[in-house]
Structure 1
């Protein structure tokens, strides 16, 4: 038994829940506050880590040049990452003032591009410098160990960096993209409704 159902007409007749601008601005404010909180926590943790590494250098007085270069590379990697990461603060701040939907949308596009730069170029540079710095730093101490223990130390470091690179980094990037794309989609939807 065949039935002729006009799916196109049914689709047009459905009442989709339109996103309210207040709800969307609430989501935007929550997004902004979460990211500023992450920015502050990242700054605090990386600055404390840099100070800790500096204290290790001062207290243990490494003898080999490779160790000193490794320490400097790790600290420089963190400082470069922080300086680039802190550029996002102004983009998050722009999401706060009274703006039109189009201005919010433009700010979100700009923020998405800056985040993409952080997630690719800066994160790649950070991980490479961090990995090389840690390997150079470890050389002085692993050279005094038995061969099997030094291999295990480097293997553990490589596994830790690999987990961060291949599992945690993509997961974090995907989560960030999902959040910002969700906001962009909603603002685009509201903009198209206002134009209609």
Structure 2
């Protein structure tokens, strides 16, 4: 009996410190688990969805801020009226303009076979002159804004003709509607005939239909 008593005392002495280390200071669920795991997961999922969209928006903004070859006279650094209007719109952007402008690398220089190196050098020189022309125009339009102009070679922005044709046809075929016209009744026709010959009641008398067409 005494041995069993000492056994229970020893077991209690061994269990109490370990149990105290486990339970001491932990009174709520958030003491043992992460209570913000769901909002954190939602934030990560939101970032994974928004990141590709943000990249696509950035690409579109870069294309919008691009001065294309068509905005210059072919083979020169002279801005066309369309190019000046494009730069003026970008410079007057509200609430404030973005200080990044891109110039498309020159694709309007003729290339002769066997003179590829000279063509590449002329192309680089033309790009530099076009950048200077854009900077000079922007400085004249908005001198208080420090625009940064760089050269890039974006892909051609266009749409296949067959796709555009299909889109227009689908738009035209999507319009639906109907017009309903009620037929003339025999009593209305008789009243109108009597009024014309003088034998029937005059138009406007009681009992006559004042709106024979009854369009809806």
TM-score (norm. length: structure 1): 0.27
Identify the structure with the greater strand proportion: 2
Which has the bigger relative contact order, CA under 8 A and spacing at least 6? 1
Larger radius of gyration: 2
Identify the structure with the greater helix proportion: 1
TM-score (norm. length: structure 2): 0.25
